Structure 1
Amino acid sequence: MTITIDTTKPSLENLPNNYLISLDDYSAISLMGEEQSKYLQGQVTCDVNELEQKSLLNGAHCNAKGKVFSCFRLFNRQQQHLLFQPKSTLEGSLAELKKFGVFAKVEILPADQLSFIAVVGEQATEKLKTKFTQIPDNLTPVIQQDTTTLVYIAGKVTRYLMIDETENINTLMTSFEFPVFSSQVWTLLEILEGIPSLTLQSDNEYVPQMLNMQAIQGISFTKGCYLGQETVARMQYLGKNKKALFSLSGENTGEIKTQVIEKQLGENWRKSGDITSIYQADNGQCYIQAVLNNDITSSTQLRIKDHPASSLSIIDLPYTLNEE
């Protein structure tokens, strides 16, 4: 069964009304076993005990110093916890989870047997209704239908995750008759929604608040101890965090080789932060996610360090930062 993937990189305005995304650059960590919830609760920033009620959580996995290995969406599939994230962060996070997991009744593995695709667009919901008897929504964002797990991703654009074994996913993809894009388009949507997507080398660099995890309900400040909890709490209650995650856009930036973003100070330019993920459309439009000093405003002049003529604008995010 041959799946044709459109490898072009359209700008936001040039994306079709409906399409699929083959999420080859994304996967998940799977936790199974008697103590899977108890163990994970002591490792990540979100309250795993809320999963039964909410069914979908944002979260981060940190080291002992509170620096982030990975940001993920957590949901269940067939009695296992799945931490869905870019493959770029999966290996490091998996190794750390397994390191401490030997002391608990839990099996921790990459979800290599599963494939992930997204259905996006105005007719995504109606199309899914022709194939499944139940469709996830804001109230019930995760549904298991036969062998397929469906996850509703709230945001400006309607989108769903579909998770199943590869053969079943391929069958679903061919039945949709939507164009299929590469996983870079998913990264574009994450950038626009302000969801941390650490697709570039940035692990062990940031505490969760620098990635806006508190703004997307990815940190529980009442759950008790977990790895890195002291640093995360100190950042929250002592107001020590001076950085935040921003979404930016620019044109004609050329090939970007550095991750450094600079801001103008008088006649000089100084480093303001680093790029965490990037999407460069074929028409020259560029969409960037970056951790910058949180005093940045819409009037701040920003550029990419190795492109002095570039100019970046801030994209409004669908949430506000909670600094209380």
Structure 2
Amino acid sequence: MTELTASTSVWLDFLKQQGAQFDADGAELLGFGASAPAPESLESFMAPLTGLGIIGVAGDDAASFLHSQLTNDVEHLDTSAARLAGYCSPKGRLLASFLMWRNPEFIFLQLPRPLQTAIQKRLQMFVLRAKAKLSDQGANTAIIGLAGPAAKNSLAEWYPVLPAEPYAKIDNANGTLLRLADSAGSARYQWVTTPEIAIAAWPRLSQHLTPTGPQAWRLSDIRAGVPQITAPTQEQFVPQMVNFELIGGVNFKKGCYPGQEIVARSQYLGKLKRRTMLATVDSNAVVAGNEVFSSADPAQPCGMVVNAETAGEGRSLALVEIKLAAADGPIHLGSAEGPALHFHDLPYELADPQ
């Protein structure tokens, strides 16, 4: 895990003064006290995303280097857009999923902070003679997720014009504002800025939006059908298994990258047999990496939980990778006798490859 700087500590100390509670390591925000509204009940909220890290890649060859490593087009990424991208093993299995954007100096790769050190080190191993340098760009950064109908007006003071569509972005003196995939019919934004600006903005933002922990943001990701690779699911999925090409995370026209042949073969040779679906689970103890089982074939798992968060009333909301052939029958968590899964429509179609 990356080390916290003095600037980051100021941000975390400020959040504690606002009632934020952190985990034992002091880096992951859990919530804003027992009396705060439950994350799943919030319509409009703001969440400090303290569990995310950012790798910055700079240098004359930064774009070409990353283009040869990631599943998406980096060479044609401009400064007005963000993209999803995956980093695969040679076997085509995802080691990490990124939110990616750039400015004139850096290309930024956002990922869960616990994965950052190892992924950054692995990428650095393949730089070789390329003029590209990787660094931790999240150490002096505050990231706030803003979602719901009130998010737009809450940002007007700093961003009079907002990104017009998902994965558009705007830079100004106040930092970077990224619009991400809509969730539950509302726009979502990430504001990437300095701790000083975030601290100054917090009181005015809180007039419009309820402060909460990152769980609410992760729930909104799940509702949007956007997966995030975490430690328990590294090397478990080819990108299509988590619908990554359906949400813009894979470019099949770009050049080679680790695992590219397997990813392409999965796309063009035969019908995809596994996808990720949205489900509620009759348990509040669901975590990424849990296996799921079909009543029709109880001896072996038919899928795996990609991401999950508690959603109240003893249930969790989850993205679950599953064999499509098993999806019509009863599916259970942990064993064929475990808590039941109930599937729901995603906000996009589970299209077959052309």
Normalising by the residue count of structure 2, what TM-score does the alignment of the two structures yield? Answer: 0.83
- Work out the number of aligned pairs and report it: 319
Q: 1:7 to 1:270 in 2, by over 3 A?
A: farther
Measure how far apart 1:283 and its partner are: 3.3
1:310 to 2:339 alignment: yes
State which of 256, 265, 270 in structure 2 corresponds to 1:225.
256
Measure how far apart 1:58 and its partner are: 1.4
- State whether residues 89 and 203 of structure 1, in contact with CA within 8 Å, keep that contact through their aligned partners in structure 2: no
Letter of the structure 2 residue corresponding to residue 132 of structure 1 = Y
- State whether residues 102 and 108 of structure 2, in contact with CA within 8 Å, keep that contact through their aligned partners in structure 1: yes
Is the deviation greater in 157-166 or in 236-245?
Answer: 236-245
Aligned positions of 1:261-272 closer than 5 A:
261-265=292-296, 268=298, 270-272=300-302
State which of 189, 200, 212 in structure 2 corresponds to 1:171.
200
Q: Who is 1:89 aligned against?
A: 115
- State whether residues 62 and 131 of structure 2, in contact with CA within 8 Å, keep that contact through their aligned partners in structure 1: yes
Kindly provide the CA deviation profile for residues 143-191 of structure 1, in whole angstroms up to 9, marking residues without a partner as x. 0120410001131332110001222222222321232111122111111
Identify which of structures 1 and 2 has the higher relative contact order when contacts are C-alpha pairs closer than 8 Å and 6+ apart. 1
Aligned positions of 1:1-324 closer than 5 A:
1=14, 2-5=17-20, 6=32, 10=38, 12=40, 14-15=41-42, 17-52=43-78, 55-77=81-103, 79-111=105-137, 112-138=139-165, 141-155=168-182, 156-177=185-206, 178-239=209-270, 241-251=272-282, 253-256=283-286, 259-265=290-296, 268=298, 270-297=300-327, 299-305=328-334, 308-324=337-353
2:278 is paired with a residue whose SS is strand
- Runs of 4+ in structure 1 off by over 4 angstroms are none
Q: Name the CA distance, whole Å, in 1 between partners of 2:118 and 2:243.
A: 21
Q: Name the CA distance, whole Å, in 1 between partners of 2:107 and 2:331.
A: 40
Is the deviation greater in 87-96 or in 27-36?
Answer: 87-96
Q: Name the CA distance, whole Å, in 2 between partners of 1:11 and 1:183.
A: 9
1:295 is paired with a residue whose SS is helix
Q: Name the CA distance, whole Å, in 2 between partners of 1:244 and 1:95.
A: 30
Q: Percent identity?
A: 23
- State whether residues 181 and 224 of structure 2, in contact with CA within 8 Å, keep that contact through their aligned partners in structure 1: no
The gaps in structure 1 that reach 5 residues or longer are: none
- State whether residues 308 and 318 of structure 2, in contact with CA within 8 Å, keep that contact through their aligned partners in structure 1: yes
1:51 is paired with a residue whose SS is coil
Normalising by the residue count of structure 1, what TM-score does the alignment of the two structures yield? Answer: 0.90
- State whether residues 77 and 149 of structure 1, in contact with CA within 8 Å, keep that contact through their aligned partners in structure 2: no
Letter of the structure 2 residue corresponding to residue 279 of structure 1 = E
Letter of the structure 1 residue corresponding to residue 133 of structure 2 = E
Q: Name the CA distance, whole Å, in 2 between partners of 1:315 and 1:61.
A: 28
Letter of the structure 2 residue corresponding to residue 232 of structure 1 = V
Letter of the structure 2 residue corresponding to residue 222 of structure 1 = K
